[in-house]
Chains A and B, each alone.
Chain A
């Protein structure tokens, strides 16, 4: 009995660990399984037997969600707003991050302070005046203002991330480029930016996911349903005629995960690079 020589704990421990894993997994996953199955059922089917399997596969729920409940429009809005915000944040963050980390200039500390203000002050601390400001600027109920404020509020963290990345880049390439007569803007555009592509991609992902998840700015700034984003649209579904319509809401929720699902593999990697870079052993 070779296994008897090993300590007894691993065998029992492994079973306990396995049971714990499965129980925890079920806790997190069961609502998703429930809503995915229910999204194929009918409302009367759910009312009769909420936990049962659907009586047939009703894909028309998805069509109804996409067309009648405007999930198609919401998805388009969400994708457009998040992608545009992410692109702008990555661009502006790269520019600012480079200047703040590698260039010496008067007023650098002030600019750095601006970045930190953005981190320390969540939107709610200035929402009242921001709301009035947007009204005054005549930007209320436009997707543009959601993009702009997204950019302002989500900019600091990607900027800090890029600053850290730029700071760690070696000087050799830059010095040799300068010796060859490259201008400062050329150093930035043709040398540093291509080198920082991995960090820019991480910034892009972060910004996209944040903008994608955010519900506050659309709630505050958007009024007409044709401009709603997915989170706002789906959260509004159960306030109107879809209140008792389980299947449409569930189908809508399932649809809303698709873009994130497509990003899943990539998300895993870039989230981790962004958050754990060199942090494991401190």
Chain B
């Protein structure tokens, strides 16, 4: 209607204006146009999102699932092969390591990162350290680097000769240790996890510190009058008040922690997952088989297994969340 009014105003100003003599009056054409737009508006609005998702997610996802049940993908000889590829994929040497690492990594990500983030947030927001703004910045600062850059930095931090950690150890008299943080199969996973936590704890901190600031201060004052301080208020007020936020942070961390490709890539490329599968994860296996190599079928099978695992975990977590919200 706005358009229509505007056209009337413009036309009426012109002297000697007469109604157009075309078969379909202009006003009616606008009306019809408007009606059509209104009818298809939902589809027009959803279209770009649907096209992007369809082309770049749905099609490749369906293809991946199909490829995982065939042999000879991307050749003329592609044919259905049942579960053959899955049998082969399950015998990959790296797979047991990848599964172990996924468990360790997922558990650390969902427990350690939120726990450390929560404790540091409570310490900064309710603790004695001043100025708070400075400590907020300090605790958040690792997040200013992207995860891959954090990895690149830590290859230097871990350097056995000139690295930050080696130098600190030398300073306190452990100079002979010469720990090969990234070269020793027993240390590499921990070293990679530390980089991950260094980067993700600040994210948890940010969310928790903001959430703590939203808790009603009266609760703390009342507790103080009753003689409860510090640790007690943390356990009995802060933690219970943050229940929902905590669930959300844990969920995000678990999903991020299952696919820590950026860390492993930055720390170990070009020998992804080195040393001797110590930092192998399913994504690095998929990357090596299906992108660096040409074993598309096995990479696809691993992708499907990863999909099943993640969908299962997501559904499970949603159940937990619903149960928690229902209480």
Write the residues of chain A forming the contact surface with B, with a CB cutoff of 8 angstroms: 7, 9-10, 13-14, 17-18, 20-22, 24-25, 28-32, 34-35, 46-47, 50-51, 92-93, 95-96, 98-100, 103-105, 107-108, 111, 114-115, 117-122, 124-133, 148-149, 151-153, 155, 159, 180-186, 188, 212-216, 219-220, 230-232, 234-235, 237-239, 246, 249-250, 253, 256-257, 260-261, 264, 268, 271-272, 275-276, 279-282
Q: What's the Cα separation between A239 and B242 when bound, in Å?
A: 43
Which single residue of chain A is at the shortest CB-CB distance from B289?
A128
Q: What's the Cα separation between A219 and B128 when bound, in Å?
A: 44
Shortest distance between the CB of B99 and any CB in chain A (Å): 15
Say yes or no: B58 contacts A114, CB within 8 Å. yes
Binary contact readout B289-327 vs A (1 if CB under 8 angstroms, 0 otherwise): 011000010011001101100110010000000001100
Of listed B64, B137, B324, residue having the most chain A CB within 10 A: B64
Residues of the B chain whose Cβ atoms lie less than 8 Å from the Cβ of A280: 211, 214-215, 241-242, 244-245
Of listed A17, A237, A271, residue having the most chain B CB within 10 A: A17
**Is B17 part of the binding interface, using a Cβ–Cβ cutoff of 8 Å?**
no
**Is B142 part of the binding interface, using a Cβ–Cβ cutoff of 8 Å?**
yes
Say yes or no: B142 contacts A95, CB within 8 Å. no
Residues of the A chain whose Cβ atoms lie less than 8 Å from the Cβ of B153: 31, 35, 249-250, 253
Which single residue of chain A is at the shortest CB-CB distance from B230?
A13
Write the residues of chain B forming the contact surface with A, with a CB cutoff of 8 angstroms: 1-2, 34, 37-38, 41-46, 48-50, 52-61, 63-64, 67, 74, 116, 119-120, 123-124, 127-129, 135-149, 151-157, 161-164, 166-168, 171, 198, 201-202, 206-207, 210-211, 214-215, 227, 229-231, 241-245, 248-249, 255, 259, 261-262, 265-266, 269-270, 282-283, 286-287, 290-291, 296, 299-300, 303-304, 306-307, 310-311, 314, 324-325
- Which of A30, A124, A152, A282 has a CB less than 8 Å from the CB of B303? A124
Say yes or no: B262 contacts A126, CB within 8 Å. no
- Which of B1, B53, B324 has a CB less than 8 Å from the CB of A117? B53
Which single residue of chain A is at the shortest CB-CB distance from B161?
A47
- Which of B34, B120, B311 has a CB less than 8 Å from the CB of A24? B120
Say yes or no: B49 contacts A34, CB within 8 Å. no
Given contacts A185-B41, A214-B262, A260-B144, 13 further A-B contacts (CB under 8 A): A14-B128, A21-B135, A28-B141, A103-B41, A114-B50, A121-B307, A183-B1, A213-B262, A215-B261, A235-B152, A271-B206, A271-B210, A279-B211
Q: What's the Cα separation between A106 and B285 when bound, in Å?
A: 41
Say yes or no: A29 contacts B64, CB within 8 Å. no
Shortest distance between the CB of B203 and any CB in chain A (Å): 8
Q: What's the Cα separation between A117 and B124 when bound, in Å?
A: 38
Q: What's the Cα separation between A120 and B318 when bound, in Å?
A: 12
Say yes or no: B138 contacts A181, CB within 8 Å. no
Residues of the A chain whose Cβ atoms lie less than 8 Å from the Cβ of B259: 122, 124
Say yes or no: B303 contacts A219, CB within 8 Å. no
Say yes or no: A99 contacts B46, CB within 8 Å. yes
Q: What's the Cα separation between A10 and B223 when bound, in Å?
A: 13
Residues of the A chain whose Cβ atoms lie less than 8 Å from the Cβ of B164: 30-31, 34, 50-51
Given the interface contacts A95-B48, A105-B43, A249-B156, does A180 sit within 8 Å of B1 by beta carbon?
A: yes
Say yes or no: A18 contacts B129, CB within 8 Å. yes
Given the interface contacts A31-B164, A215-B147, A216-B261, does A92 sit within 8 Å of B198 by beta carbon?
A: no
Shortest distance between the CB of B170 and any CB in chain A (Å): 9
Q: What's the Cα separation between A96 and B168 when bound, in Å?
A: 53
Residues of the A chain whose Cβ atoms lie less than 8 Å from the Cβ of B155: 238
Residues of the A chain whose Cβ atoms lie less than 8 Å from the Cβ of B255: 122
Q: What's the Cα separation between A185 and B307 when bound, in Å?
A: 38
Residues of the B chain whose Cβ atoms lie less than 8 Å from the Cβ of A130: 56, 60
Residues of the B chain whose Cβ atoms lie less than 8 Å from the Cβ of A239: 269-270
Say yes or no: A128 contacts B64, CB within 8 Å. yes
Residues of the B chain whose Cβ atoms lie less than 8 Å from the Cβ of A29: 138, 141
Can you offer 16 A-B residue contacts whose CB atoms are under 8 A? Answer: A24-B116, A28-B141, A31-B164, A51-B167, A99-B45, A129-B60, A129-B64, A131-B291, A184-B37, A212-B146, A215-B265, A232-B148, A249-B153, A253-B152, A261-B144, A280-B245
Say yes or no: A111 contacts B50, CB within 8 Å. yes
Given the interface contacts A96-B46, A183-B34, does A129 sit within 8 Å of B63 by beta carbon?
A: yes
Say yes or no: A17 contacts B61, CB within 8 Å. no
Given the interface contacts A212-B146, A235-B151, does A128 sit within 8 Å of B290 by beta carbon?
A: yes
